[in-house]
């Protein structure tokens, strides 16, 4: 192992915080025991939880107006892995990275896999890129990709996506996430039915190339970059496409890819009901974006999503050929913060919502639901949501070798300041939007 941060620094900082944590953990343990909940069981479940981080999230994002580079941000897959290893070393629940091609292209993927392993990391779902043109590319994606009216463009998109699967096999991935920006900006621009037909035919070729044990995760998005219609626009289109493609095709829900006010926790329950919940991308939004840090705007919604995920885990749809193994990933754009700090803060917010969902008195909830006792059903959720679970997360982290105070320890490491001296500067256009 070649971990980026000093284990001594983490141990030294933890020693300072350990007594206060033990006190808070014991106090919370007594409170939960009075409710019949064993705090150690919750902590053990949190210790088993993990969420992937995307390689592109390690760099500063931007908007279509500007990107503000951060001194010391990573500019290569190797530096991105290093930063992802810092996140994992501190928080201990982000052991896998999700790569994106061609952004993360290297000549030797076996070596990249070893490099990641030496940093304590593995690889999660591979992501294709059929939404921007690359230098030297034969066909443009301006007409769409898998659904383009141009046959040669569809072929190029299929071949690229299959190439991503082949890279993923070398990296140890088991999932392919497919998001395409295909859609239109004007009424009448394309035929709704024919564009979906073309998508399904091309996606079917990708599906046919899936190796044994692989899943194809279809990520829908309501709008952007297309602003009038999107081919895979919502969970309804997504599940129809997944059902048409076959059992290895599942739906991936990105928290920010819906119309405002849509009940996303209900979508989670619906997809699971039909054995089609394949993954979840975490972020938050205030208006119509998918860019803000997880839990920064509406942590209660995140809790309600986790409440459904915990229900789903307790009730796997084996009858639908589906257990419960969703691919979780943080997917947000860090425009004005240090991406490492944002992902540490987001991983914490995500795990907090899982911990709170684990505290829900399911027996009381189900009894109230069956008895039509609306207020007590709601109180079963509220009673869990209002608990401060941070001592559980901190204890799980520190027992796994992570930091009790992740942000304080990260800042004390002066990682970014050191990297600003060592790494070459990134340009204003080098980021991911």
Binding of residue 96 to Mn ion (CB under 5 A):
no
Beta bridge partners of 252: 219, 279
CB of 136 to Mn ion, least distance (A): 27
The strand pair at 126-127 and 183-184 is best described as: unpaired
Encoded tokens for 325: 């193994």
Q: Which CB atom, from 33 or from 259, has the smaller least distance to Mn ion?
A: 259
Q: Which CB atom, from 229 or from 333, has the smaller least distance to Mn ion?
A: 333
Question: What does 215-237 look like in DSSP terms, one character per residue?
Answer: EEEEEP-SSSS-SSEETT-SHHH
CB 116 within 8 A of CB 122: yes
**Close Cβ partners of 166 (under 8 Å, ≥ 6 residues apart):** none
Tell me, by CB under 5 A, how many residues bind Mn ion.
3
Q: Which CB atom, from 283 or from 398, has the smaller least distance to Mn ion?
A: 283
Binding of residue 331 to Mn ion (CB under 5 A):
yes
Window of 129-137, 189-197, 319-327, 329-337 that interacts with Mn ion by CB under 5 A = 329-337
Window of 8-16, 34-42, 253-261, 316-324 that interacts with Mn ion by CB under 5 A = 253-261
- Subset of residues 127 to 156 that bind Mn ion, contact rule: CB under 5 A: none
Binding of residue 82 to Mn ion (CB under 5 A):
no
41 class by beta-carbon count within 10 Å (0-12 exposed, 13-18 middle, 19+ buried): exposed
Sign of torsion over alpha carbons 352, 43, 251, 210: positive
Q: Could you tell me the CA-to-CA distances from 267 to 155, 299, 377 in Å, in that order?
A: 32, 17, 20
Binding of residue 221 to Mn ion (CB under 5 A):
no
CB of 293 to Mn ion, least distance (A): 14
CB of 334 to Mn ion, least distance (A): 14
- How far is it, in rounded angstroms, from Cα 41 to Cα 300? 23
CB of 265 to Mn ion, least distance (A): 17
Q: Which CB atom, from 82 or from 254, has the smaller least distance to Mn ion?
A: 254
**Residues 344-361 as b or e (16 or more Cβ within 10 Å = b):** bbbbbbbbbbbbbbbbbb
Q: Which CB atom, from 174 or from 411, has the smaller least distance to Mn ion?
A: 174
Please tell me the chain's helix, strand, coil percentages from 3-state DSSP, rounded to the nearest 5.
Answer: 50, 10, 40
Q: Which CB atom, from 124 or from 254, has the smaller least distance to Mn ion?
A: 254
Binding of residue 83 to Mn ion (CB under 5 A):
no
Binding of residue 124 to Mn ion (CB under 5 A):
no
Q: Angle formed by the axes of helices 406-413 and 339-358, to 10°?
A: 160
Binding mask 277-296 for Mn ion (x = CB under 5 A): ----x---------------
Q: Which CB atom, from 254 or from 361, has the smaller least distance to Mn ion?
A: 254
Long-range contacts for 72-76 (Cβ within 8 Å, ≥24 apart)? 72/416, 72/417, 72/418, 72/419, 72/420, 72/421, 72/422, 72/423, 73/339, 73/419, 73/423, 73/426, 74/419, 74/423, 75/423, 75/424, 75/426, 75/430
CB of 16 to Mn ion, least distance (A): 38
Binding of residue 276 to Mn ion (CB under 5 A):
no
Q: Which CB atom, from 131 or from 274, has the smaller least distance to Mn ion?
A: 131
User: Which residue in 82, 254, 284, 313 binds Mn ion (CB under 5 A)?
Assistant: 254
Q: Which CB atom, from 104 or from 331, has the smaller least distance to Mn ion?
A: 331
CB of 288 to Mn ion, least distance (A): 14
30 class by beta-carbon count within 10 Å (0-12 exposed, 13-18 middle, 19+ buried): exposed
Q: Which CB atom, from 219 or from 313, has the smaller least distance to Mn ion?
A: 219
Window of 66-74, 90-98, 327-335, 389-397 that interacts with Mn ion by CB under 5 A = 327-335
Binding of residue 175 to Mn ion (CB under 5 A):
no
CB of 398 to Mn ion, least distance (A): 31
CB of 37 to Mn ion, least distance (A): 33
DSSP 3-state of 183: strand
Footprint on this chain of Mn ion (rule: CB under 5 A) = 254, 281, 331
């Amino acid at each position: 192992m070649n971990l980026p941060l000093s284990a001594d620094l983490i141990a030294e900082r933890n020693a300072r915080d350990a007594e206060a944590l033990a006190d808070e953990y014991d106090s919370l343990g007594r409170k939960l025991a009075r409710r019949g909940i064993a705090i150690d069981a919750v902590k053990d479940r949190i210790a088993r939880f993990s969420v992937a981080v995307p390689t592109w999230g390690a760099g500063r994002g931007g908007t279509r107006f500007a990107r503000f580079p951060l001194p010391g941000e990573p500019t290569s897959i190797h530096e991105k892995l290093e930063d992802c290893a810092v996140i994992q070393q501190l928080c201990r629940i982000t052991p896998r990275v999700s790569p994106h091609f061609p952004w993360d292209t290297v000549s030797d993927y076996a070596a990249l896999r070893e490099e990641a392993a030496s940093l304590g990391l593995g690889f999660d779902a591979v992501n294709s890129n059929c939404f921007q043109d690359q230098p030297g590319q034969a066909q443009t994606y301006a007409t769409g990709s898998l659904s383009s009216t141009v046959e040669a463009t569809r072929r190029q998109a299929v071949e690229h996506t299959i190439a991503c699967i082949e890279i993923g096999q070398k990296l140890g991935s088991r999932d392919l996430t497919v998001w395409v920006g295909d859609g239109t900006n004007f009424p009448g621009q394309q035929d709704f039915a024919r564009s979906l037909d073309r998508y399904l035919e091309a996606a079917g070729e990708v599906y046919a190339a899936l190796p044994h044990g692989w899943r194809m995760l279809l990520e829908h998005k309501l709008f952007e970059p297309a602003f009038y219609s999107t081919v895979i626009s919502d969970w309804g289109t997504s599940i129809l496409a997944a059902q048409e493609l076959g059992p290895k095709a599942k739906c991936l829900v990105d928290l920010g890819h819906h119309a405002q006010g849509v009940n996303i926790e209900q979508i989670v329950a619906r997809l699971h009901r039909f054995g089609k919940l394949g993954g979840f991308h975490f972020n938050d939004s205030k208006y119509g974006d998918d860019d803000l840090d997880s839990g920064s705007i509406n942590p209660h919604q995140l809790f309600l999503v986790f409440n459904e995920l915990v229900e789903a885990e307790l009730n796997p749809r084996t009858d639908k050929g589906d257990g419960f193994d969703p691919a979780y990933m943080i997917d947000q754009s860090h425009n004005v913060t240090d991406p490492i700090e944002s992902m540490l803060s987001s991983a914490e917010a995500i795990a907090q919502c899982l911990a709170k969902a684990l505290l829900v008195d399911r027996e009381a909830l189900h009894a109230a639901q069956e008895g039509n006792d609306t207020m007590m059903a709601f109180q079963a959720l509220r009673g869990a949501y209002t608990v401060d679970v941070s001592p559980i997360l901190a204890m799980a982290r520190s027992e796994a070798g992570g930091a009790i105070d992740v942000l304080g320890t990260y800042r004390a490491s002066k990682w970014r300041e050191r990297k600003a001296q060592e790494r070459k500067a990134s340009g204003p256009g080098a980021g991911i939007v």
